[in-house]
Chains A and B, each alone.
Chain A
């Protein structure tokens, strides 16, 4: 039986791991390959490295970080952030990434997903989707502006989730479930789904978002954004996630991967056994 994965996420800028709250206020959290090796030793199932560089110089440093992580790591490495072209993806794979994650570029040019999948294989292509809660849009018109419910006061406004690009700062007229479905049809092998509302807040994953998206695709979905305690991860798996991304709760040394996986195991979720 396929195990659920716990995936530490390293946001890397200028060769250092950083972590922010709601995509801002970055704090230094260490050297990428050292952290990656430490998390592997603790039982991590995979590592995600997101390059959050703002400059070309920093981006070159990120490639070097991928090389260093690869030499140290004997578990899978997914790298994303700033992948604009097939050549960018190829460079990351050559440097040692096993999978690449693409976000804004795929939104601007969805055919890029087809090209990436046909060149590198479906299992190699992760599409990262950053989404935030908005009042429901009309059915099947992802291009429309959000439409507020005309119901009287006190009637709940139907919710949906709108995709944003540029690290969550720029909303685009795409509904998260419909976009995920399109990504899967174009050849994405996995969705990395981040709740912009929850990222870095520690108030738990957006379980409704997870359920909304994972029920619309048959490829696996990684939950991201909002975990504070291991029980949050159990809830994410129950909402339809195949894997959970964790950052702050590890980088802040509040929990180890081992402790997290122990909680999942105690809760009866299938995980790769943590060796002692």
Chain B
């Protein structure tokens, strides 16, 4: 029932540029029956209160974890991230978390990476030269350039324009807080793009894995609807 209700949320999208807010059906539906468990990786660099609050508003149970076994087996796992690339990778290397995240992503179990979390999935970042990322996503993270006439960091609400076959990412406006970004949606992934000076990746998705440069947990009703669609994936067979 839960996944059906969440599809109802999906069905209420407006045309691009005119997102229709969810009517809350997905949120209420998620609170019926057993509460889906969302394990949130505590990397030590992230502010987790907003992520926790967003999932609790959706009726999910949340658990903060640094346990690789939980990351491997929980129905839903979030890789949050605020802070520097190098510090984030150090935290993931401890206790086998990096391996657990990689295995999850390659086995198409539901994984949501947010902001720095997206960047950690990549191969490397200009922010921390010489530090290897998780390498799940092919690509190098680069910094915005002020010479393109924009202020850095990008702080605020910017568009999300989905690629044609995206399932979780829809048209809308999301909240971003970043100085670094991925420039292109890698081959084999869908997602969405936006622009700050130059185009960059708003989000990428492949099967049950979604990584957002924006903060869905801070993106109002539109962000809540995106999270509800991702939660609903846990009830569906993996499609990778």
The interface of chain A, by Cβ under 8 A from chain B, is 1-5, 40, 45-46, 70-71, 73-77, 93-99, 118-124, 189-190, 218-220, 242-243, 272-273, 275
B89 to chain A, nearest CB (A): 15
Partner of A74, one of B150, B176, B195, B223: B223
Contact indicator B175/A2 (Cβ below 8 Å): no
CB-CB < 8 A to B84: which residues of A? 118, 121
CB distance from A261 to the nearest CB of B (A): 11
Q: Are B50 and A70 neighbours in the complex by a CB distance under 8 Å?
A: yes
Task: Report the bound CA distance from A2 to B154 in whole Å.
Answer: 8
CB-based nearest A residue for B115 = A123
Docked pose: A189 CA to B154 CA in angstroms: 9
A14–chain B nearest beta-carbon distance, Å: 22
A242→B155 contact, CB < 8 A: yes
Beyond A190-B153, A219-B152, A275-B221, 9 extra complex contacts between A and B, CB < 8 Å: A73-B53, A74-B219, A74-B223, A75-B220, A76-B215, A96-B50, A97-B49, A218-B152, A220-B155
| C-alpha gap A46/B157 in the complex (Å) | 10
Asked if residues B153 and A273 are in contact (CB atoms below 8 Å), the reply is no
- Report whether over half of chain B's contact residues are helix, strand or loop; otherwise say mixed: mixed
B73 on interface, CB distance cutoff 8 Å: no
Residue of B nearest to A90 (CB): B47
In this complex, what residue of B is CB-closest to A243?
Answer: B156
- Known A-B contacts A123-B155, A218-B146; the reply to A2 vs B221 at CB < 8 A is no
Chain B residues lying within 8 Å of A2, measured Cβ to Cβ, are 150, 154, 156-158, 176, 196
Q: Is the CB of A272 within 8 A of B155?
A: no
Report the Cα distance A75→B146, complex, angstroms. 26
- What is the chain A residue whose CB lies nearest that of B82? A121
A273 near B82 with CB under 8 A, answer: no
B31 at interface, CB cutoff 8 A: no
With A76-B175, A189-B155, A219-B152 in contact, do A121 and B196 touch (Cβ < 8 Å)? no
Interface pairs (30), CB distance under 8 Å: A2-B154, A3-B156, A3-B157, A45-B156, A46-B175, A70-B50, A74-B217, A75-B219, A75-B220, A76-B215, A76-B218, A93-B47, A94-B49, A98-B177, A99-B177, A120-B83, A122-B153, A123-B82, A123-B178, A123-B179, A189-B153, A189-B155, A189-B177, A218-B146, A219-B151, A219-B153, A220-B155, A220-B156, A243-B155, A243-B156
> Are A242 and B179 CB-contacts (below 8 A) given A74-B54, A96-B50, A96-B53?
no
Q: Report the Cα distance A94→B50, complex, angstroms.
A: 9
User: With A71-B53, A76-B177 known to touch, is A3 a contact of B158 (CB < 8 Å)?
Assistant: yes
